[in-house]
Structure 1
């Protein structure tokens, strides 16, 4: 077989640059070995590319082009010198935490090669074309990330009560009256647009549009028509319009506007835009995804809810609806928390939990309840629920579904793996990293001593090597947050008086507040690069106080800084049970690595509803992250 000549040096360079971008540790290692002459670089690259899991390759088409070119190159090289391939050492490492792709590291268990990847017999790829394409990809051509600001332009239709809504994206800042999140997406990706309106309006025709991201200055979406409704309920107080953007069912941006009069938008100062980074995922999607966007009036009572499910055709693209409540959600949740966290008898506690759960489900968005019962009636085996919400207080995990004539079901967080997310700047990751740890464990005295603190610290460090932060002062904690560890575990007391926000009690009578953590710019830089998991095993942080899950709490602050997942109690927890839960979680992570992290807490949460042994601490823990996230 005659093969055309090609530039092997360029191909090798582009392949290493691909690894630099997606697997930095591999790129660094192969550069080092190439410089020392330790390996045959072409063979080493081919072996690495062949062993990367084909289901989780970032930029899959670019990967296939590189792999085909490497095989072609090696075929020529083998024809020339007839040498045998050199085996790949088994220590070529894991992806760096600085990588922005949620991919799995190459491992001995991964498929080496598939029939689809093998070149056909006699194939002779156009290497010149491949080199041109590979160069474009690695230099940021086809797959480079592009940022746009979404906008809403609302105008009245002459001669009637209808509105025309133009949705477009450009490079400018948000306009007057607009609030939202800028979109960052790769060129060539398809983005779905879902228009939602308060009960004052009805979208004429389909509320769904889509567009392909292009490297242009402006993208226009086909305009919408909204019809003004006459049957507006009193609960719908503030008219507003929202455009929600998503990629493969995952929210990637939003823009909203208040409408004070037909055709006029509320006067509002222009603010800095958040930017949502959405890392790509492959494979399974949650069985049900609920996205809650606040009405721009931001009164804690008016929201927009979108429900999506791959199992229901009418919900496949997302079904929007207004969600208006008679009171602020913070007040609703506070009332229920006070009821069941004050109970000590297990039987009475379970009754309070279930009763509160039924009332919470009754207050849930109508389109969510509609989709839920349709999924139950369909017989589909449900596993996971994703809650992406700007409403921070409602404990979805504790909702107990009930409909007339039927027995109550188990709580949502007991029947299903539930993952919540509240980040406006970065989306939850499907793969999270746990390679090392830093454990913050202050040395308390007297009545404040946490009896199991040292044991918990030792257990975590024995599973994930790292640092013991003990004693723990304010400066020690800041250094820990800057350490770049993939796991940050806190064993401490907390406090929340409902007015000044959450604080963690440290040594030397010092404290650190959620507000202070949010103000550490250097910490934000580290978090965005390393995407750590944060486990806040803090006891007595304001029992019954919904501020725990509020916008000013530690969970929300760590998410905004860039954590890939946060585990935190929604109310005060009991020391010994909290200790046991931490050990069970890390034991499951080690022993059942393919088990979703949210599923571990589903099993733990179930014990709260045991009428003989139930304790509210088992129900307190919330998993903030992708409900299908696993350690990889």
Structure 2
């Protein structure tokens, strides 16, 4: 904090109340409040917490504006947050008192592929953020908070450490200038708008227009573009800071029960300051239907290989004579439309694949996006996957692989099962994968990243086996780092860093669920670990799980939670207490027993000491996700396996993600107690201590399969699946 100017702000988070209080304090005032704490004699009373030393209870809480939940412009003094992450403080420019405001310095500009769904033109960078020219009313600017933006009120009252923002020489700059020592803030001139160094902000809503009713077998047109106003209550805008005068979006149309005779891809180029300046049309043919049926045409918006928006039009297909609709009808006759943010808005994966299904139908539809110059298909890509067959395959995985522990057959079984998975993927997937892999290799990166956005719950695509010169060129497989086994681990998930995410579902009010885009970074400073102590219960003991919990408690100061109803419900309802103060975990780890019933949610969940099961419905109804937005690691048997409930993605992964969790790791089948313990400890060491991304850490886990020729063969390392952005990092403090 010593390097920060006195006019900069520190946000103190008081978690002694629920919800937490956010108090913004200028650095100069905080220094004065803490003056002399470090110089106290041994005979003096020891320093209290930061709460005590700055008399936090007497300070007014700041108004909090969450940019994910509100489009309002924050008033001066408001603390601006994105979920649990503090972005900064809104301050009034005011007038300089004898000290001229310094000119706005050149700010760090995100890479061209960076887009965001944040309202108001504010772009979070982890260290600070910058403005678009029309982001806020005149006279208001953002005061960025450096890379340690929030301080817990219950820390010891030594001067809080606040590091300089990455890429700056001191803490005085973090995206924009923090201000002058006199308390005036640099930035825009009063009464005028600032120009960003490279351009102005683009902000508009994805928009699709189409007829409300079409005849079976007829051809019609959907009209696609951008709108200034939200097309539906839950719509969120696409925002690109520092946009050039024209912005080119890649559009891809899709929909069950439709064909697209002129192709599924088009480029939409719009004028930055007039987003509605240009629109494109897709020709659509409704497949024959003998009775009225409601269907949806969806359009995905991509920018620089990142999926940044989704818009759709709901319409009814009715029996009748085929006809051609030459143009879109008047708005009064148009169908219900909507739009949402989705996918990878900040740092796109090397390849993003969207996999869509409709319950009861065997058709699987595939879409592809990449920031690399790779030719993508212009026609629909579909495969057939009967739901009953996919569920049976998942059940076979859960039963067969654990039963082969210690046998030489386990390697062959995984290869055979992986071959089945690879065969269910379209040829286009493998061609695109190989083309992207080649370009990533040429750039000097050995491990590419893959984002799977899917509503298909059963198939573990990560286990797809890659035969050299069959699915991909053989040298790709041989160059994959860290592979184990006599013949090498050629699973897709052992070669690529992979993260899954769920297709968001529209909500009547508020943002879609699960929250999109998935987080790319999150601050983590607290951990709770549920301890699987089943002693004297008739449930098999988990001695290694007990050691696992103790190690996490010792290394990361994790709060241990007993696996009984009272304590687990305290965790889920955000009522944990540590040292007589509310405790909100940013990481939740469970070393317990789990079980899965693919066709019955009540048999899926976390097993308690009394043999009751905490099922997905209990988790969906809990407060933990919305209050803490945690990263969740369930080191419990089978609980990574998904299912379907009321035509939606089910299971524990869906329950945690839709309730607000920002990442989820769990195994697909029964895992060995001792192996699972070591894998989880190594995972946290890599992610929290070494700064490895979660996707890469899970890839390394998979590569432990058969890596030790002296150990009994086990499929446990291959069991883990990760839901989240493959580039997700957890910043531990």
The TM-score with structure 1 as length reference comes to 0.70
Aligned match for 1:255, one of 303, 312, 327? 312
Aligned in 2, Cα 1:212/1:54: closer, same or farther, shift over 3 Å? closer
Partner of 2:585, secondary structure, is: coil
1:421-460 equivalent positions in 2, closer than 5 A? 421-422=501-502, 424=504, 425=513, 426=515, 427-446=517-536, 447-460=539-552
Contact kept? 2:251, 2:265, Cα under 8 Å: no
Q: Map 1:132-281 to 2 at 5 A.
A: 132=191, 150-154=207-211, 162-167=219-224, 171=230, 173=232, 182-186=235-239, 193-196=251-254, 200-204=259-263, 206-209=265-268, 222-226=279-283, 228=285, 241-246=297-302, 248=304, 249-255=306-312, 257=314, 260=317, 276=341, 281=346
Q: TM-score, normalised by structure 2?
A: 0.61
CA–CA separation in structure 2 for the residues paired with 1:222 and 1:109? 41
Partner deviation per Cα, 1:27-79 (whole Å, 9 max, x = no partner):
4453853896979x99xxx99x999987635543469x99xx9xxxxxxxxxx
Change in 2 beyond 3 A, CA 1:52/1:136: closer
Partners of 2:302 and 2:564 in 1: CA distance: 42
Q: 1:277 to 1:259 in 2, by over 3 A?
A: closer
Deviations 1:181-200 (Å, cap 9, x if unpaired)?
A: 74344486766542235673
Q: Which runs of 5+ in 2 are unaligned?
A: 14-20, 37-90, 111-124, 140-144, 153-160, 178-184, 329-334, 478-489, 505-512, 575-582
Aligned to 2:670: 572
Q: Per residue, is there more helix in 1 or in 2?
A: 1
Residue 322 (structure 1) aligned with residue 402 (structure 2): no
**Of the candidates 589, 597, 615, which is equivalent to residue 513 of structure 1?**
615
Deviation at 1:93, TM superposition (A): 4.2
Q: Cα distance, 1:532 vs. partner? A: 1.3
Shift of 1:392: 2.4
| Match of residue 102 from structure 1 | none
Partner residue of 1:8? Answer: none
Number of residue pairs matched? 543
- What is the match of residue 631 of structure 1? 730
* 1:364 equivalent in alignment to 2:434: no
CA distance in 2, matches of 1:506, 1:272: 44
Question: Does the C-alpha gap of structure 1 residues 394 and 118 become closer, same or farther in structure 2, counting only changes over 3 Å?
Answer: closer
| Partner of residue 598, structure 1 | 695
Give me the whole-angstrom Cα distance separating, in 1, the residues matched to 2:563 and 2:653: 23
- Aligned partners of 2:151, 2:308: CA distance in 1, in Å? 26
Per mean C-alpha deviation after superposition, the further-off stretch among 53-62 and 285-294 is 53-62
Q: Distance in 2 between matches of 1:281 and 1:387?
A: 16
Which residue pairs with 1:588 in the alignment? 686
Q: Which residue of 2 aligns with 1:130?
A: 189
Within 5 A, what are the aligned runs for 1:323-342? Answer: 323-328=382-387, 329-342=390-403
Whether the 8 Å contact between 1:442 and 1:469 is mirrored in structure 2 is no
CA distance in 1 between counterparts of 2:533 and 2:705 reads: 30
- Residue 112 of structure 1: how far off its partner (Å): 3.0
In the TM superposition, 1:284-295 aligns within 5 A as: 285-294=348-357
1:383 aligned residue = 448
- Once residues 543 and 254 of structure 2 are traced to their aligned partners in structure 1, the CA distance between those partners, rounded to angstroms, is 52
Identify if the C-alpha distance between structure 1 residues 559 and 213 changes in structure 2 by more than 3 Å, giving closer, same or farther: farther
Question: Which residue number corresponds to residue 705 of structure 2?
Answer: 608
> Are residue 306 (structure 1) and residue 359 (structure 2) matched?
no
Deviation of residue 584 (structure 1)?
A: 1.0
1:387, 1:420 within 8 Å by CA — same for their partners in 2? yes
> Does the CA contact (< 8 Å) of 1:490 and 1:535 recur in 2?
yes
Q: 1:553 aligns with which of 648, 651, 655?
A: 651
Conservation of the 8 A alpha-carbon contact between 2:132 and 2:201: no
Alignment counterpart, residue 624 of structure 2, candidates 515, 518, 523: 523
- 1:592 & 1:615 partners in 2: Cα distance? 27
Give the root-mean-square deviation of aligned CA atoms: 5.2
Out of 593, 596, 620, which is 1:496 matched to?
596
Q: Is the 8 A contact 1:182 1:253 kept in 2?
A: no
Question: Against the structure 1 CA distance between its residues 303 and 153, is the aligned structure 2 distance closer, same or farther, given a 3 Å change threshold?
Answer: farther
What residue number does 1:400 align with? 465
Whether the 8 Å CA contact 1:245–1:253 is kept in 2: the answer is: yes
Q: For residues 587 and 303 of structure 1, do their structure 2 counterparts lie closer, same or farther at Cα, with a shift above 3 Å needed?
A: same
Cα distance, 1:311 vs. partner?
Answer: 2.6
Aligned partners of 1:474 and 1:419: how far apart in 2? Answer: 33
Question: Aligned partners of 2:501, 2:616: CA distance in 1, in Å?
Answer: 18
Residues 300 and 311, structure 2, Cα contact 8 Å, conserved in 1: yes
Q: Is 2:640 aligned against 1:533?
A: no
Counterpart of 2:548 in 1: which secondary structure? helix
Alignment match of 2:130 (pick from 60, 81, 93): 60
Q: Check whether the contact 2:206–2:309 (CA below 8 A) recurs between aligned residues.
A: no
Q: Which of 387, 408, 411 is the matching residue for 2:491?
A: 411
Matching residue of 2:585: 485
Contact 1:423–1:560 under 8 Å retained in 2: no
Sort the Cα spacing of 1:227 and 1:456 in 2 relative to 1 into closer, same or farther, 3 A. closer
Whether the 8 Å contact between 1:441 and 1:492 is mirrored in structure 2 is yes
Partner of residue 112 from structure 1, selected from 143, 168, 173: 168
After superposition, give the CA deviation of every residue in 1:547-574 in whole Å (9 maximum; x if it has no partner): 4999221111111112121111112212
Inter-CA distance 495–422: structure 2 relative to 1 (3 Å threshold): same
CA distance in 1, matches of 2:11, 2:559: 33
> Are residues 535 and 53 of structure 1, via their aligned partners in 2, closer, same or farther at CA, if it must alter by over 3 Å?
farther
Instruction: Give the secondary structure class of the aligned counterpart of 2:713.
Output: coil
1:413 is displaced (CA, Å) by 0.8
Provide, for residues 316-370 of structure 1, a one-character-per-residue CA deviation record: whole Å limited to 9, x for no partner: xx86633231412334444455443432344311111111112211211333222
> Judging changes above 3 Å, is the alpha-carbon distance between structure 1 residues 221 and 163 closer, same or farther for their aligned structure 2 residues?
farther
Deviation of 1:471 after TM superposition, in Å, equals 5.1
Residues 389 and 463 of structure 1, relative CA distance in 2, 3 Å threshold: same
Question: Could you report, residue by residue, the CA deviation over 1:412-458 in whole angstroms, capped at 9, with x for unpaired residues?
Answer: 11111111111513121111222111111143124422112332112
